[in-house]
């Protein structure tokens, strides 16, 4: 590993370790379930949490570096059991820089029903550009989950997929964006559940969904300034 790659990996180890704290802060995981990974820019490498380690015990040094086939390159522990799925996403979607997996309660309840979350909320139009789709049932350990994620999200505006009977996977330009998508997915799933419990939620016209998504993705927030 050359010095520049080593520097990038060191920084990403700190970032990925920190972002796992966001999963617990927003109550998206239980016990040792769930994981965050980040692609090393310009390298066929990813950084991911070790398997079965308590969140309170995660450190930058405990993060595991793998190649994009899921083979450990650096780190003392075994990588997450979802590493193969993360690696497949990175191989198939070069624009993705971060992947997150959770079993957050409300979103996973929709996944257990095999039901997409309809776009009933402006916040969902902003972040997801429409419904949050359902991916196929797949067993853990090989490429099947990764194939389901890629097959569902390719060409879709949503950065989140509800893998049937399993849970949530999100993608982003970096790991922080993928964590944000996981947080927002659970928030939307909870509100959609409560809305439907009260009756039939109102739909948003597709043109309005498109306008909301365009504004949020391209106008909302701070813009870089010259000088």
Q: What is the pLDDT of residues 153-184, one digit of tens each?
A: 999 999 999 999 999 999 999 999 999 999 99
**157 closest CA partner among 143, 147, 171, 145:** 171
Q: What are 147's two structure tokens? A: 């194939």
Measured CA to CA, the distance from residue 15 to residue 178 in angstroms comes to 13
Residue 174 lies in a domain: yes
Measured CA to CA, the distance from residue 166 to residue 140 in angstroms comes to 10
91: CATH = 3.40.225.10
Assess whether pLDDT exceeds 80 at residue 226.
Answer: no
Which residue range is the domain that position 178 belongs to?
3-218
Reported confidence tier of residue 41, pLDDT bands at 50, 70, 90: very high
Beta strands in the chain (DSSP E): 35-39, 45-48, 64-67, 72-74, 98-102, 134-135, 160-163, 167-172
Residue 42 lies in a domain: yes
Residue 40 lies in a domain: yes
- Number of domains comprising the chain: 1
Q: What are 25's two structure tokens? A: 């802060």
Residue 224 lies in a domain: no
DSSP string, 114-154: T--B---SHHHHHHHSS-B-EEPP--TTSSHHHHHHHHHHT
Residue 226 lies in a domain: no
Chain mean pLDDT for the chain: 97
For the chain, percent of residues with pLDDT exceeding 90: 96
Residue 225 lies in a domain: no
The owner of tokens 């948003």 is 204
Residue 154 lies in a domain: yes
Measured CA to CA, the distance from residue 152 to residue 150 in angstroms comes to 5
Q: Find out whether 132 and 213 touch, Cβ atoms under 8 Å.
A: no
Reported confidence tier of residue 31, pLDDT bands at 50, 70, 90: very high
Please give the average per-residue pLDDT across 99-126, as a whole number. 98
Residue 227 lies in a domain: no
């Amino acid at each position: 590993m050359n010095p520049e790659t080593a520097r990038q990996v060191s920084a990403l180890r700190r970032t990925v370790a920190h972002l796992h704290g966001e999963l617990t802060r927003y109550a998206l995981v239980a016990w040792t379930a769930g994981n965050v990974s980040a692609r090393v820019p310009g390298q066929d490498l990813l950084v991911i949490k070790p398997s079965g380690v308590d969140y309170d015990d995660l450190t930058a040094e405990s993060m595991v570096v793998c190649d994009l086939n899921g083979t450990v390159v650096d780190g003392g522990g075994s990588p997450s059991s979802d590493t193969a799925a993360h690696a497949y996403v990175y191989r198939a979607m070069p624009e993705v820089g971060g992947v997150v997996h959770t079993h957050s309660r409300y979103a996973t309840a929709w996944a257990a029903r095999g039901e997409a979350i309809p776009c009933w909320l402006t916040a969902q139009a902003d972040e997801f550009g429409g419904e949050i789709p359902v991916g196929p049932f797949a067993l853990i350990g090989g490429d099947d989950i990764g194939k389901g994620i890629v097959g569902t999200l390719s060409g879709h505006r949503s950065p989140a997929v509800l893998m049937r009977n399993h849970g949530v996977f999100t993608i982003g330009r970096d790991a922080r964006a993928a964590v944000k998508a996981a947080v927002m997915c659970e928030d939307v799933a909870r509100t959609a559940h409560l809305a439907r419990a009260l009756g039939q939620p109102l739909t948003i016209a597709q043109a309005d969904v498109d306008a909301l998504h365009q504004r949020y993705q391209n106008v909302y927030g701070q813009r870089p300034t010259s000088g």
